[in-house]
Amino acid sequence: MKNCFKKILVMFVMVLTIMGIGAIQNRNIVNAATVGEQLLQPEEGWRRYDDNDGNISYIGDGWYYGTNIESQNGMLHANIGYGEARFNFTGSKIRIISNADQETGFSDNIKITIDNKIIDTYSQNIKAKSEGMILLYENTSLKNGTHTVKISKEDDSKYIEIDTIDIDGVLLPYEEIEQPEEPYKPDEDDSNKTGAILIINLVDGETKVYDVTTSEAKKFIDWYDKHDKETYRFDKDVNEKISVNEYVVHDKITFFEIRRY
Residues 70 and 134 both lie in one domain? yes
Residues 73 and 159 both lie in one domain? yes
Residues 94 and 45: beta-carbon distance below 8 Å: no
Left, alpha or beta for 179 (phi > 0: left; psi -120 to 50: alpha)? beta
Residues 198 and 90 both lie in one domain? no
Q: Which of 138, 172, 206 is the last residue of a domain?
A: 172
**Strand residue runs (E) in the chain:** 47-50, 57-59, 63-67, 75-79, 84-91, 94-98, 110-114, 117-122, 134-139, 145-153, 160-162, 164-167, 171-172, 195-202, 207-213, 231-237, 243-249, 253-260
pLDDT tens for 197-255 read 999 988 888 888 889 998 898 999 999 888 878 899 988 776 777 778 888 998 889 88
**Structural domain boundaries enclosing 105:** 47-172
Query: Is there a domain that residue 111 lies in?
Result: yes
Beta bridge partners of 114: 117, 149
What is the pTM assigned to this prediction? 0.58
Distance (Å, whole) CA 138 – CA 99: 15
In angstroms, what CA-CA distances link 122 with 41, 49, 100, 127, 138? Answer: 21, 20, 11, 13, 9
pLDDT tens for 174-200 read 998 776 555 445 555 555 678 889 999
pLDDT tens for 106-163 read 898 899 999 988 889 999 988 877 778 899 999 999 999 999 999 998 777 788 899 9
Distance (Å, whole) CA 212 – CA 197: 6
